[in-house]
A = this chain, B = another copy of it.
Amino acid sequence: MTKPESKKSGMAMATGKCASTAVSEELINNGSVEPALSPSCQEQGTPTKPRTMKQMSRESLSSRRNTECEVFDDGTNTFFWRAHTVTVLFILTCALVYVTLLEETPQDTAYNTKRGIVASILVFLCFGVTQAKDGPFTRPHPAYWRFWLCVTVVYELFLIFILFQTVHDGRQFMKYIDPKLGVPLPERDYGGNCLIYDPGNTSDPFHNIWDKMDGFVPAHFLGWYIKTLMIRDWWMCMIISVMFEFLEYSLEHQLPNFSECWWDHWIMDVLVCNGLGIYCGMKTLGWLSMKPYQWQGLWNIPTYKGKIKRIAFQFTPYSWVKFEWKPASNLRRWLAVLGIIFMFLLAELNTFYLKFVLWMPPEHYLVLLRLVFFVNVGGVAMREIYDFMDDPKFHKKLGQQAWLVAAITVTEFLIVVKYDPNTIMLPIPFFIMQCWILGILLILTWTLWRFFIRDITLRYKETRRRKQEVPADRDRPLGNGSTSTPSGRSKLNGSSEPLRQRKS
């Protein structure tokens, strides 16, 4: 008797503009609202959810979420999706009983200390993966993102611990993780011969190019592909990509591995690797924003092909938000976008400086792990920052992952400053200093012009025009808050207008 009902409920797909994705997804995946007790119950329960969402979104979110896709979800909540809190607790207890009571404790204090710390981290992960607060992402499984959240916390605490040690102790502490660490890095020679066609080498005159074709080429490409998926904006990606090469030029007197040939900077990195990565990323973004978001339970799909497709699509996002950063729309967004670019570049620089001050060889697995970590964590953080910026209400909260990533970037930078103040303080060459001062001045001038002078001028012109044209209706309220007349200002600052209307 249950089969046809189940199918019927599966077909009666709930249509809801996924306006409040963060909220709705959390509700769905915690299973805290949705009943989904039985097929017949689902039939009643599922249509409630989108109605709820719609109501919640009507006032607070309607203005901002026009960049979001439509989502169809039949609300199936299978075994796979459940939290398994009690199961995890039971398994954890059994594991603890086995390891601590049935196995004999070694007498080595140092080994036990390490084991105790690892066990604490594992228990923390057990707790976090089942119980931590869900973020904006839910695919392939919310537990996946909870896991990375916990890893973020552990990494940040590790950094804080390192930050509080003396330079010598901190470097030696790395020996506890890998006994091969804690040794000064050998000096390396970069740059050198920059001829594309080297007539001196008769056997292979293009050897300089082939030398650069190492593992870093696909790494750069892949890195920028993923960064594009994070930032979701062509212009911001290009600016960060170019800015980083400028930073490499500016800092090559501090870190020798920033010094590269001019064609390595601009052709190999910016154009070929990064450019191709950004291009492919933008193509994928296009696909993701066009792709239909239909989530049916696996058992509600009749064909095998459909089932396999559904399983594969589990690894694509639940819904999609196009990022429209609109840096020029108002001063707050402009400063926020500048801040994001600054933090992004700082995090990229940290990769190199941290290796340098903690004596990590570039090919060490920890360096790779840190990148894998940032790939998983950066996307969530960027989405949370976008939500934070885009949120019209006043009581908003910066997302937890964004908070932690910001804290990590700051802590990493503090470690770099503390561990090697000499390198950081090496005076920047005068010519480069001039360039930077010029750049900063340009940005400042543009900011002043765009958000202060131009606004005042426009408002003045508008006022004068109105006074001249319509001297009759003098009693109409005047200024930026007037909602009835589409003033010049409101046309310019388009997206900020709903906010201002709301406040008035």
Tell me the A residues contacting B by CB distance below 8 Å. 20, 22-23, 27, 30-38, 40-41, 44-45, 48, 51-52, 55-56, 58-60, 77, 81-83, 85-86, 89, 92-93, 96-97, 99-101, 105-107, 109, 112-113, 115-117, 119-120, 123-124, 127, 130-133, 153, 156-158, 160-166, 169, 392-398, 400, 403-404, 406-407, 410-411, 414, 417-418, 502-503
Contacts and interface: CB of A to CB of B under 8 A. Distances in A.
**Which among A33, A395, A400, A411 has the greatest number of chain B C-beta atoms within 10 A?**
A395
Contacts of A397: 30-32, 83, 85, 130-131
16 contacts: A23-B27, A37-B394, A38-B502, A41-B59, A45-B59, A48-B55, A77-B395, A81-B395, A85-B398, A105-B418, A109-B169, A116-B162, A116-B165, A124-B153, A127-B407, A131-B400
Nearest to A411: B96
Given A31-B396, A41-B59, A119-B160, 19 more contacts: A33-B56, A34-B393, A34-B395, A35-B59, A35-B60, A37-B392, A37-B393, A37-B503, A83-B395, A89-B407, A93-B410, A96-B160, A96-B414, A117-B161, A123-B160, A127-B156, A127-B403, A131-B133, A131-B397
Contacts of A89: 398, 403, 406-407
A83 B89 CA distance: 30
A51 B53 CA distance: 12
Contacts of A115: 164
A36 B391 CA distance: 13
User: Which label, helix, strand, loop or mixed, suits the secondary structure of the A interface?
Assistant: helix
A127 B60 contact: no
Contacts of A127: 153, 156, 400, 403-404, 407
Contacts of A119: 160-161, 163-164
A118 to B, nearest CB: 9
A164 B116 contact: yes
A48 B30 CA distance: 23
B101 A164 contact: no
Contacts of A45: 59-60
B41 A96 contact: no
A132 to B, nearest CB: 7
Contacts of A82: 395
Contacts of A406: 89
**Which among A59, A169, A411 has the greatest number of chain B C-beta atoms within 10 A?**
A59
B395 A112 contact: no
A309 to B, nearest CB: 25
Contacts of A161: 116-117, 119-120
Contacts of A32: 22-23, 397
Enumerate the 8 nearest inter-chain pairs by beta-carbon distance, A residue then B residue, closest first: A31-B395, A116-B164, A133-B133, A116-B161, A85-B398, A35-B60, A131-B400, A120-B157
A58 to B, nearest CB: 7
A93 B412 CA distance: 12
Nearest to A105: B166
B112 A164 contact: yes
A36 B395 contact: yes
A235 to B, nearest CB: 25
Nearest to A158: B120
A86 B115 CA distance: 36
A202 to B, nearest CB: 54
A174 to B, nearest CB: 14
A295 B483 CA distance: 34
